[in-house]
């Protein structure tokens, strides 16, 4: 079965410290991987994606993510967290075998950045 | 920047009533989706729509649900007879060529449906 796992329900980090939000996936074919952020009572905002090429992709608001094919992971990172980064983060995958273009989402990780 | 717009932002309805949620996808996009999210939990795929027909639907998308693109701009989700468990945030989304082509899927702000 195709799935995405975010093993941490919540990540707590102090402002200014680096942050990592973990994501692993299990899909057939070559996946396309995405990160979205959701602020309270808002929609999903696209942060970044991995399609092909360089395993380190950079996105909005200083976020980056590293694709690791052998570990089937796509962890989200930021060198220096801001309080305003506090939100719900979703990892998502488009299975390579899909032709409908849908995304499969992980369960989400709440990021709490403390001042 | 173009965006997906959804109406209403919040709707309260009686159990058994029909509800129509409306969406205006980004104008040149070809793939359209509905997802739902129950109380800040996982985002669940409902249906994808391409070339004026459903291309995939999940097990959640049973006979009570339908989608329509009645004109060149709107994309609607209808729930025929709402149940309490339909209470959720419903997100419309669109993409130029679909995530399977590496294209980004853009989401609207959501329609919060409360069934009482």
Q: Taking CB atoms and an 8 Å limit, are B106 and A46 in contact across chains?
A: yes
Pick the residue with more confidence: A21 or B40? Answer: A21
In order of their start, the domains of chain B are 5-10+17-99 (2.60.40.10)
Chain A residue closest to B43 (CA)? A105
**Which residues in chain B are contacts of A34 at CB distance < 8 A?**
99, 104-105
| Residue-level pLDDT, tens digit, chain B, 116 residues | 779 999 999 999 999 999 999 999 999 999 999 999 998 788 999 999 999 999 999 999 999 999 999 887 899 999 999 999 999 999 999 999 888 888 899 999 999 999 99
CB B6 within 8 A of CB B21: yes
- Residue A29: its pLDDT value, please? 79
CA distance A100 to chain B (A): 6
**pLDDT surpasses 90 at A108:** yes
Does A28 have pLDDT greater than 90?
A: no
CATH code where residue A19 lies = 2.60.40.10
Contact list in B for residue A100 (CB cut-off 8 A) is 31, 48, 50, 55-56, 98, 100
Token pair in block for residue A77: 């990172």
Range of the domain at A78: 3-114
* Predicted pLDDT of residue B33: 96
Beta strands in chain B, from DSSP E residues, in sequence order: 5-7, 10-13, 19-24, 31-37, 43-50, 53-57, 65-68, 75-79, 88-95, 106-107, 111-115
Number of domains in chain A: 1
3-state secondary structure of A62: helix
Residues of chain B neighbouring A43 (CB-CB closer than 8 A): 4, 91, 107-110
pLDDT value at A75 more than 80: yes
User: Do B42 and A105 count as a contact with CB atoms less than 8 A apart?
Assistant: yes
pLDDT score for B46 = 97
Beta carbons within 10 angstroms of residue A50's beta carbon: 21
Q: What does the pLDDT read at residue A2?
A: 83
Q: Give pLDDT tens digits for A38-52.
A: 998 889 999 999 998
pLDDT band at A1 (very low <50, low <70, confident <90, very high): confident
Q: Which of B43, B91, B99 sits opposite A101 (nearest CB)?
A: B99
**Distances in whole angstroms, Cα of residue A9 to Cα of each of A6, A63, A108, A112:** 7, 19, 7, 11
């Amino acid at each position: 079965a195709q799935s995405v796992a975010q093993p941490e329900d919540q990540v707590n980090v102090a402002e200014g410290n680096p942050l990592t939000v973990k994501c692993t996936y299990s899909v057939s074919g070559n996946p396309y991987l995405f990160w979205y952020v959701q602020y309270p009572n808002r929609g999903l905002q696209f942060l970044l994606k991995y399609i092909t090429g360089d395993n380190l992709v950079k996105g909005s608001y200083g976020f980056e993510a590293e694709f690791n094919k052998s570990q089937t992971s796509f962890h989200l990172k930021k060198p220096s967290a801001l309080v305003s980064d506090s939100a719900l983060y979703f990892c998502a995958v488009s299975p390579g075998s899909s032709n409908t273009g849908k995304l499969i989402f992980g369960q989400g990780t709440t990021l709490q950045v403390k001042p | 920047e173009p965006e997906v717009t959804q109406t209403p932002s919040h709707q309260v309805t009686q159990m058994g009533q029909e509800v129509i949620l409306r969406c205006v996808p980004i104008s040149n996009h070809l793939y359209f989706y509905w997802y739902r999210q129950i109380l800040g939990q996982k985002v669940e795929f409902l249906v994808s729509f391409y070339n004026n027909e459903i291309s995939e639907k999940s097990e959640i998308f049973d006979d009570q649900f339908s989608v329509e693109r009645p004109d060149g701009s709107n994309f609607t989700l209808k729930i025929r007879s709402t149940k309490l468990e339909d209470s959720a945030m419903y997100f419309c989304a669109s993409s130029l060529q679909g995530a399977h082509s590496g294209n980004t899927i853009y989401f609207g702000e959501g329609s919060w449906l409360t069934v009482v």
